[in-house]
Structure 1
Amino acid sequence: MVDMVTAVPPMTPEAAVQHVTTTNPLFELTTATIRGTQFRVFKNIPPHARALLHASRAAQADGAADYLVFQDDRWTFDEFTNEVHRMAHVLERDFAVTKGIPVAIAMRNYPELLILVLAIASIGAVTVFVNAWWTTEELDYALRDSDARLVFADKDRVERIQPLVADLGLTLVGVRDGEGLAGKSYSDLLAACADTTAPDVEIDTDDDFAVMYSSGTTGHPKGVVQTHRGAMNAVFTWLMQAVMAPLVNPPEDDAPPAPRPSVLIVTPLFHVTATHPMFLLSMPAGAKLALMYKWDATEAVRIVEKEKITRFLGVPTQSAELLQASEALGFSLETLDYIGSGGAKRPAAQVEDLARKFPNADIATGWGMTETNAVGIGMAGPDYVARPGSAGRLHPPVQDLKFLDENGHEVPTGEIGEITVKSPCNMRCYLNKPEATAEVLRDGWLRTGDMGFIDSDGYVTISDRKKNIIIRGGENISCLDVEGALHRHPAVAEACAFSLPHDRLGETVGACVQTRPGQSTSQEELNAFLADHIARFKIPERIWIQASPLPRGATDKTDRRALRAQCLESIAETGAV
């Protein structure tokens, strides 16, 4: 699908963008008016996910290539496509799913999740990605908010959702170990449908593709509504970076041909990092996809060796653990040519360690959001080694970037402002939250809540987060979400959550609570209480408990920064972890 052209001498990145967009029809640009605002967009890319599936067949050896690997199961691209089509017809025939209907997927990383995403999209319905770590209470909120009444789930999620079935009028379909526990089973439904023809539902490029939930500054997560156009423009933005790379850094004349790309997915598929730059991109890139049910560094090393994986993308913790496991097992993992990170900032020392251990691989970093379909900023290779504290440069060619002060005015180069991006990849809205949408989306520009600055060479450094989000190993946690759960405990008068530094995870959750007069509690009691209200990864590693009021700022709000500093100082004084 992509003509990988090299050029000598090397081009500047700007010249490479000009060359690719004017000589390769796939990346030709035009303009489009989207929800009243004009954007640059790719002119000739597939307009929606179903078209992407079909257009990618040529890149996948006309459908004959091994495409999807999970443990002992394998699918060629044609086999995968046929299962997508069969499941699409099941959705139409057995569940009367039509265009615009939300369908929820609640499971760990199984192949059926990928098949369902494209089956749902192929008939113009909307995938609702459900966080597999959520409690029954959190699942209840998302299913009510999205209005999804058909849910595909594995065993653990079936068990958590069962208490909601009658009240919400849900239809549950069990997948893998969930089969037999719900009213219907995925494998039985698939076996009963032999129709492998493609659905013919008309889909507009600006129709909704998916809803993904992202933690925010309110107690409940926000449903990010992504369109087909947004997802497709993100996919081809990344694909274009691969076309530009040999123009900017030409290979040696005697370099062997690049191997077929092979991708290992290790992060949860209910997050945009796994679905978009890994799964969706793999199809037009002609890549093979290997899937891990859950993260295990030793198993990841074995899969990289067996499947000749070239591309690894995970949170920084996973890169570090992959390095450690490869050394322990004595494997060089020489097929890896890309080791990326997202979801959290990678420690600078880790960049050097990875570059030394994996000399054949470009060590990479990236910044993107669920709200941007994961596209954004990034860099790889020597640039990253030289600037390990930077997030990289804006990925061309359909994005624009500026940095704004509190009043919405653009700040000069080198000064800190709120990272604000404009592109067709931006979300349509926050589901059912018009006020929250209006706060961040203005005239096509998305105010991200991340603070940073850009230097004269175009490299962006992220300095802080305007919104109170803790990023624990790539998982976004709302401070107010944790605080809301703590406030439910009868002994808690006030609560404040904040990040704690963590060597492996980057950050973890800390909290301080004020008890009610005459009452007492303990961390053990509070954590046991929280287990019924929030997912385990959100439960604080440490809780400070005091009878006195929490510190307040000039506006009488809890001074989160002062409290965090006070608690961290107590750790330093006592030596406690």
Structure 2
Amino acid sequence: MSAAEFDWNLATVWETIAEELPDAPAQIQGERTFTWADFERRANGVARTLLDGRASRDDRVTQYLRNSPEYLEVSHAAFKIGIPAINSNYRYRDEELRYLWEDADVTAVVFHGSFTATVGALRDRVPRVRQWIHVDDGTQPCPEWAIPYEQAAAASAERVRAPWGRGGDDLFLLYTGGTTGMPKGVMWRAADMLRQVNDVSTVHYALEDGAEGIRRDLRGPGQAHISGSPYMHGTGYFGATMAMHGGGCVVSLTAPGFDAAELLDSIDRYRVASLAISGEVFAKRIVDALAAEPGRWDSSTIRNVLTSGGMLGEQSKRALLEHWPAAAILDGFSSSEGFGMGWSLATKDSIPETGRFAPGPNVWVLDEHEQPVEPGSGVIGKLVVRNRLPMGYYKDPDKTARTFREINGVRTSVPGDHGIIHPDGTIQLMGRDSLCITSGGEKIFTEEVEGVILDHEAVTDVLVVGVPDPQWGQSVAAVVSVEPGAAPTAAELIGHVKARLAGYKAPKHVVFVESVPRSPNGKADYPAARALAEAQRQPVA
């Protein structure tokens, strides 16, 4: 069997690890610890519950959950029976959830008790859902129309298989909200998703050898990991998945929002080696907590910090590495439509420029004629991913055709990101088509400008948007938060940008805010930033 022909998914990896390391910890949250044998047994119970009398390959289960052991147990159960587990954003409001569950054809919802009222109000509006499974988080009791999660987890002590089997062609469906529009489902083959995890994890199995290859290459219990980012988003989920891929232990925080002190307590208590966060919104809180109570925590075990989904500036990287000098910060540039677009590695002695990445092996940068951009030419090109790609968008052939296109005889993904190639082959990320500002006929990419502003010593966070301008069509506005006690002027920040970029890219409006609008996972809320800019902008003299 060749590596391209294996016909199984991530469940085979986790089942084999559970056989080899039954007593090793797999998941921890607060005072709850689950071994790998527990993880396997409980996922089998959930899988058995999902296989009710009406079950079919077309079923989908969604995790309407905060970070918790149950989230990954449901994911494992879904892999076992060959159906997608759908990530539900717990910050969505009723109509957004209804849209997502209808669009994804969800048939089972696993939800935390704190979301009981929302779920109850939606039940009659999502008729396809036939199972509601309640996870007790100490808030609301299980309603009579739902199944208690612990009952579901105890439903089978034996390994569960669906009547239709499972394989590499099973659907892995990742919903992404992006920066604009309603959420959309990106379809991956389960085997391709597994390959991707296997490529970037600390343990790489010979997938062509099946379970025997996993047993041979597993090196005993792996590292402890924490995803500060929500599992409902790719950074948090894949950070946790990669840790478990190597037989590690995933620690889920207990606070409903991100609590830097709890994170640092957990790193200290469980000797955590790897961490996943999403940019400045997490890094700043960690650095502030460390600075406020020096000596409280021993976080010397941290070796790997993965950040993605939000830009992380040089200052924050430098501050984190002052506290964690043995660590490496891996800044991943990726999208749901094409993993592994680029990487930036920072260590205490080497911190690269913000927004500058080494391209992934499957990335092209193409000009407007779809020809390769010459390094050092200064031409802004579109980033194109080839080889291992999603199948497209779920139930949206038109969007699929626009994003997944054949270029020069090769099927590619064109998510809409742009960059320039430096002479050394690294890529400077410029921004996305959907966020591009056109001012006086010039195109300005937001992330390029954000990266420069973020490197100002007083700035803690920034979003750049285009606002209407009667003369130029659009002008650049920056929504900025700064360090406590700092008072940079708008003119100072504009001059900082002009020192590194063409003058037309500099903001014409700077709005100072206490907190730049972002979602809890660190993703930019550009519509909110634009509303702030339009309401408060004042031209700089």
CA spacing shift, 1:336–1:536, aligned 2, 3 Å: closer
User: Is the partner of 2:331 in helix, strand or coil?
Assistant: strand
In the alignment, is residue 445 of structure 1 matched against residue 405 of structure 2?
no
In the alignment, is residue 98 of structure 1 matched against residue 56 of structure 2?
yes
Q: CA offset at residue 387 of structure 1?
A: 1.6
Distance in 1 between residues matched to 2:158 and 2:11, nearest whole Å: 14
Match of 2:286 among 318, 322, 340: 322
In the alignment, is residue 204 of structure 1 matched against residue 167 of structure 2?
yes
Match of 2:135 among 165, 175, 179: 175
Counterpart position of 1:422: 386
Q: CA offset at residue 262 of structure 1?
A: 1.3
Q: CA offset at residue 269 of structure 1?
A: 1.0
Match of 2:435 among 462, 468, 477: 468
Q: Deviations over 1:336-375 (max 9, x none)?
A: 1112311111112222222222111112211111223x43
Contact 2:83 2:170 (8 Å CA) reproduced: no
- The aligned amino acid for 1:265 is S
CA spacing shift, 1:384–1:126, aligned 2, 3 Å: farther
Q: CA offset at residue 65 of structure 1?
A: 0.9
Counterpart position of 1:410: 372
Identity %: 18
Match of 2:340 among 375, 379, 397: 375
Distance in 2 between residues matched to 1:198 and 1:259, nearest whole Å: 24
CA spacing shift, 1:267–1:83, aligned 2, 3 Å: same
In the alignment, is residue 231 of structure 1 matched against residue 193 of structure 2?
yes
Distance in 2 between residues matched to 1:431 and 1:225, nearest whole Å: 6
In the alignment, is residue 81 of structure 1 matched against residue 40 of structure 2?
yes
Counterpart position of 2:119: 161
Contact 2:46 2:153 (8 Å CA) reproduced: no
- TM alignment of 1:462-501, pairs within 5 A: 462-468=429-435, 500-501=479-480
- TM alignment of 1:272-351, pairs within 5 A: 272-276=234-238, 278-293=239-254, 294-316=257-279, 317-329=281-293, 330=295, 331-351=297-317
Contact 1:100 1:124 (8 Å CA) reproduced: no
Which 5+ residue runs of structure 2 have no aligned equivalent?
A: 206-218, 437-445, 455-462, 467-473, 484-522
- TM alignment of 1:237-276, pairs within 5 A: 237-239=199-201, 260-276=222-238
CA spacing shift, 1:387–1:327, aligned 2, 3 Å: same
CA spacing shift, 1:214–1:270, aligned 2, 3 Å: same
Q: CA offset at residue 318 of structure 1?
A: 1.2
Q: TM-score, normalised by structure 2?
A: 0.73
Q: Which structure has the higher relative contact order (CA within 8 Å, separation 6+)?
A: 1
Contact 2:317 2:351 (8 Å CA) reproduced: no
Displaced runs of 4+ in structure 1, greater than 6 A? 240-243, 469-473, 495-499, 535-539
Aligned residues between the structures: 445
Distance in 1 between residues matched to 2:119 and 2:298, nearest whole Å: 43
Distance in 1 between residues matched to 2:394 and 2:476, nearest whole Å: 26
Q: Deviations over 1:200-242 (max 9, x none)?
A: 652231221223233255x322122222022111101102698
Contact 2:317 2:346 (8 Å CA) reproduced: no
Distance in 2 between residues matched to 1:164 and 1:269, nearest whole Å: 23
User: Is the partner of 2:418 in helix, strand or coil?
Assistant: strand
Q: TM-score, normalised by structure 1?
A: 0.69
CA spacing shift, 1:53–1:337, aligned 2, 3 Å: same
Which 5+ residue runs of structure 1 have no aligned equivalent?
A: 1-27, 31-41, 244-256, 481-494, 505-534, 545-563
- The aligned amino acid for 1:439 is R
- The aligned amino acid for 1:306 is R
- TM alignment of 1:65-80, pairs within 5 A: 65-80=24-39
Distance in 1 between residues matched to 2:115 and 2:478, nearest whole Å: 28
User: Is the partner of 1:363 in helix, strand or coil?
Assistant: strand
User: RMSD of the alignment, in Å?
Assistant: 3.6
Distance in 2 between residues matched to 1:220 and 1:405, nearest whole Å: 29
